[in-house]
Structure 1
Amino acid sequence: MIPSSSAPRLILASSSSYRRELLARLHLPFATVAPHIDETPLVGEAPESTALRLARAKAEAIARLHPGALVIGSDQVATLDGEQIGKPGDHARALAQLQKMRGREVVFHTALCLWDGRALDPADTAQVENVQVFVRFRDLPDAELDAYLRIEQPYDCAGSAKNEGLGIALIERIDSSDPTALTGLPLIALTSMLRRAGVVFFGI
């Protein structure tokens, strides 16, 4: 059971500007705190398991520092043929990623955890969910892929394409039950979790 009278502080356990911008759409006051955890996948770990484990670990790490808060953790793992596709980090790796993905479908696992520091029952502490997004990339020539990367430089994005920016021109189709999951924070899933935690929207 969760005390209904408590008004928790809301914290986004992330340093991502994309997730911060998405959460701001809900018009709820929140703070951001960057979690410092090892994000290396475990040996033999399935991609969705990696995303879920890291989302929970991020939320739990910040919740320890802020007792009584509602903490949002999220993590995204992109996969092609079951193989994880990480953040490229530089131009050459990003181009190689886009070349490998062109004309093919990539699955993005966006995991979400809402950690409720007010919960009296440990079973009520964490709500977790993995939202899958299926993205088919256009079969484009190297020159277009290279030009895109030089314009947007999405080297901090798994899959090397910002769908909220010019990267949408690389994409042929997106299938998901939660449109913002691809950008990094599934707001439909999150608002459901927040409602279950007693958060009031629209001031009523």
Structure 2
Amino acid sequence: MDEAQWSQGSPAADDAAYEKKPEAIEQAADILLDAARAQLPRSRAYVHARQRFWDAFPGGRFVRLATPGDDLECALHAAIISMEHQAAPRSGSSLPLPTVEELRDIFFSGPVTEYNEVVGLSNVNDLTADQLSAVFEEWGRANLPAGTRCQLGYVTDDGVPVMMNTPDVETADPDPTVLRIWVFNDGASLRGGVGHYEGIRRPAVEGAEAPR
């Protein structure tokens, strides 16, 4: 099996914890339920993101995970938590999870610093989705097999899956050699507040329904 192929899954070590209390299962918004809107050219990116989210989370159901917000670095914590719960090589070997310190170093590294300068961002924490995407891409280049591409997606507070534009990655293509992870973003920064990211995973019980 090609080690650059990736699958979605939850660590077995958490099984006992899953059984202790009911899961807070959430349902992503499905743009395909609005056929007219889904056909609009401006909706194409949302349709493709929806398809990739459903690939990772069958039925669009997911569980948000408690994520630290220390030093306004929740984005980095969320990426690590999501990597742990979502991405594992199909060969069965373990994904080399980064530390917050490693991701922070990447944020202050040349490629991401250059990106921040180009787009006019000077923040050192409270990352935007674009900044987190850039960090994830650079981490992949440095730590995964040569040629492995990484793409970040997030779920908005109203449940809409959004996939970040990534060089050399076509969201419409369900290429299994692309390592994709998803996080949750509450969107507070868009309303003038401080946003919060969370890691997410599949429900422990496949096919479990989100509350209506």
Larger radius of gyration: 1
TM-score by length of 1: 0.28
Structure whose residues are more often strand by fraction? 1
More helix per residue: 1 or 2?
A: 2
Structure with the larger RCO, 1 or 2 (CA within 8 Å, 6+ apart):
2
Give the TM-score normalised by structure 2. Answer: 0.27
